[in-house]
Structure 1
């Protein structure tokens, strides 16, 4: 297995793989900045630190985990698949349905398997929620409130620029966790009505080498929507990088016989 992208999230992936998935052999890592790949390789005892091209040309690498910034996922996913590698991509998989279908078609053509984050709906917490719903602990569900409210990633991430570029923002960064949980628990979405807003046109970086500087916002940083599922369940959904503090519940499902509350899907 090879890791593509040596940013902050790569360390979470590698720590978890080494702790829980010892059968997976990490043989190489790569980054557009080879120095970052070399540092990651040294930190996690990875045999080879590569350029992107070198990683894709290594026959020993069978699976690539794509941890590049969101704006490059479609391009790098295509390159990984074209190289004959199986793929696991960080979210978002693609910014449009058209591009998603094109990447899936390429994978089918090349005969490789693909997967995409988040896989959190497979964890024990959300699987327990599914068990409770299947056994009608709260009766018949009819309404959900889901709220991801935070004041952006620039308060903790050393390189937050990519999160405010086109193809990212709270919808593509955090939305997949909530939407995956909703679909896994309650079924597919039928209708969406939504509005977006931008709290401010620039963001102040608080940590890292660029602390104290401002970055431009290219995408909406707040979304409010109503979703209707095919089962008839109605969902109130808020995603925001503009809220300092909120008492809104993160994830609650209301049934005609009770309520299920979950912290952060």
Structure 2
């Protein structure tokens, strides 16, 4: 038996295994949500500075950074409470889908573009989220289930003002409209103008915590934007929207 293996025992292996499970759960938690991952990286950065100040024996820096990780952890729990809740909810419901995700066909893409174009011309607000790998079941369960084929007529009817579902989001899964009237947690990003509407904030919020793409039509201006990976991009014309959707839905 090698020298390094002589000191190993069943209890030591069990100890390592339990630590491995804890690390795996922590990584799964922080990697499931982009904002939580960013905060986790910053937390590790603070710990690295604390280790450096201790190693180099820098008393002032050490005293300051000794408390910084705990203070930041406290604020992270308070500020990130909505993200923590959504992440735990997602993990509990197994939101991470397999790689065999079914994206919509060209017909579905064209129907969405046609609906968005008509909504834009008539300055009717709209919010259409296209699901990818991360399931949006936790939002659809609280909405009105439709499970109907995607068509521009149905989408326009849903977003027509003064109808019961026009304020919420439509979730598209594959070639089906999964639900309508879905509501998301608004983004905490403060880089927006104060006049930015709740639709845009909701779209950016869902893009920050899932890999979905959301198309937004402004009720005030009729402008079309998309939100993906925490970034909002305004579409110049129908061709630009077609390019983005083609890349996303391929």
TM range (shorter): under 0.3
TM-score, length of structure 1 as denominator length: 0.21
Q: Greater share of helix residues, 1 or 2?
A: 2
Which has the higher Rg, Structure 1 or Structure 2? 2
Q: Kindly indicate which of the two structures has a greater share of residues assigned to strand.
A: 1
